[in-house]
Amino acid sequence: MRTPKGIKRLVDILASLPGIGPRQAIRLAFHLIRQGEGFQRELEDSVRDLRSAKICSQCFYVHENKDSLCDICNDDTRDKSIIAIVEKETDLMSIENTGKFRGRYLVLGELGRGGMLEADQKLKLKSLKSWISKSLSGRAREVVVAFNPTPQSDFITNQIAKELESFVDKVTRLGIGIPSSGEIEFADDETLGGAIEGRG
């Protein structure tokens, strides 16, 4: 049986999203059809609104501001001498939700399986070093490496510490609380807040 072109195109797009395979994509496509035109228009509008989203030139988080900086980087009340390096935007959101961290961030990007920093991640660290040199007279007080606790992230944390050793007084990690192989994104606020306060 031939699949209509519109459904096939939607299935292909959905299947390209992280965590969604071909079968799930087909189920989602038919679910969207069953929701009717009103829902489909709302979905279409929300996807169109994504066009106004930009990447912050300083921390690489998303924003919709007129200038190049996100709300966090624009906030003068934050202690920008303390920098949390996170893997994903969702990790940043989880840390922000705890209310326990008042520094700035760097969204490094998802860690590859090879245990090495990718070229774009090295460029982001280079950008951070340049910002520290210009904005903090060459030295940050602390860099918190806030990665999910895995052997791979331990290895990359050591690489980051070496990259930044001339630019920061100390490099710390999240404290005890998040289980081994657990994910920051799914930690509850109390556990994650305790891990931030207990960093070392």
- Domain of residue 191 covers 54-197
Instruction: State whether 30 and 61 are in the same domain.
Output: no
Which of 13, 28, 52 is where one domain is finished? 52
Instruction: State whether 48 and 65 are in the same domain.
Output: no
Instruction: State whether 9 and 68 are in the same domain.
Output: no
* Tokens standing for residue 167: 């630019």
The domain total for the chain is 2
Instruction: State whether 46 and 138 are in the same domain.
Output: no
CA angle, 5 then 6 then 12, to 5°: 85
Q: Any idea what the CATH number is for the domain that residue 35 is in? A: 1.10.8.420
Give the span between the Cα atoms of 93 and 107, in whole angstroms: 11
User: 148-188 pLDDT, tens per residue?
Assistant: 878 788 889 999 999 999 999 999 987 655 555 556 666 66
Instruction: State whether 62 and 157 are in the same domain.
Output: yes
| CB 145, CB 173: distance < 8 Å | yes
Instruction: State whether 91 and 150 are in the same domain.
Output: yes
Instruction: State whether 72 and 155 are in the same domain.
Output: yes
Q: Which of 163, 157, 165 is nearest to 199 (CA)?
A: 157
User: 87-112 pLDDT, tens per residue?
Assistant: 999 999 999 999 999 999 999 998 87
Q: Any idea what the CATH number is for the domain that residue 190 is in? A: 3.40.1360.10
| CB 199, CB 172: distance < 8 Å | yes
Q: What is the pTM of this model?
A: 0.79
Instruction: State whether 82 and 164 are in the same domain.
Output: yes
Instruction: State whether 20 and 43 are in the same domain.
Output: yes
pLDDT averaged over every residue in the chain? 88
pLDDT at 58: 96
